[in-house]
């Protein structure tokens, strides 16, 4: 499950948002990490910050990459 607030999702067009959610739903963190930590990944000109608790990935922030 990917939880992304509207104020974050509105930064992406529908196709980019759909692909991003697909990537995030595959749990992109290193397999040896546990829940409760903040992660980041670059995608479509943004650094996507997220956390995972149980089976829910929550996008908490995005930052434009230079």
3-state secondary structure the chain: CEECCHHHHCCCCHHHHHHHHHHHHCCCCCCCCCCCCEEEEEECCEEEEEEEECCEEEEEEEEECC
Condensed to tens digits (0 to 9), the pLDDT of residues 29-39 reads: 887 777 678 99
Name the pLDDT band for 27 (thresholds 50, 70, 90): confident
pTM of the predicted model, to two decimals? Answer: 0.86
């Amino acid at each position: 499950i990917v939880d992304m607030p509207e104020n974050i999702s509105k930064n992406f067009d529908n196709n980019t948002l759909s692909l991003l959610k697909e990537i995030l739903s595959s749990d992109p963190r290193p397999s040896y990490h546990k829940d409760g930590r903040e992660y980041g990944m670059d995608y479509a000109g943004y650094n996507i910050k997220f956390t995972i608790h149980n089976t829910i990935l929550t996008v908490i922030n995005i930052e434009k990459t230079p």
